[in-house]
Amino acid sequence: MELSVFFKSVIDSDDAPVVICDLEHIIVYMNPTAAERYKKRGGYALVGRSLLECHNDDSVKKIKKAVEWFSESAEHNKVYESHNEKENKDVYMVALRGSGGKLIGYYEKHEYRSGETSAPYSELSL
C-alpha cells in the first residue's frame, strides 16, 4: 500500500483540526475535524483558497513571518502561536519539509492540554 495512504489516515483520524498549506498559503488539505470546525467559513470548500483570506492583517503578518523563518533553516520547524484558554490547548505553526529538508509548506498544530476522560481501552472488551 502507498505510504501516502497511511499519512492521510493519520491526519484524518486526528481529533484536532489540521489545515495544510503550500508556500503560496493555499490550503491544499483539511482533515474532517478542520472541515467541521471551519464549516461556517466554508469547510472543505476552503481547499484551494488562500489561508490568508481567513485571517486579519496582524495574523497574516505573523503567518508570513513564520514561513520566512522556516525557510531560513531546516532546523526552524515549529512556532508557538497561542494558548486557547477556553479549549485548554496550545496552537503552533509547523513546517512541512520534503527531500533534503526543503520547505514545502506548513500546517497548524493544536495540542490539547486537558487529560483524557475515558477509561483506558474502554471501547474494547478485554
Summarize pLDDT for 58-85 with one digit per residue, the tens: 999 999 999 999 999 999 999 999 999 9
| Whole-prediction pTM | 0.88
**What whole-number distance in Å separates Cα of residue 73 and Cα of residue 27?**
23
Q: Would you state the pLDDT for residue 34?
A: 96
Domains of the chain: 17-112 (3.30.450.20)
The predicted pLDDT at position 125 comes to 66
Between CA 42 and CA 36 the distance in angstroms is 9
User: What are the distances in angstroms from CA 37 to CA 18, 41, 65?
Assistant: 10, 9, 25
CA dist., res. 117 & res. 120, Å (int): 9
- Positions of the chain with pLDDT under 50: none
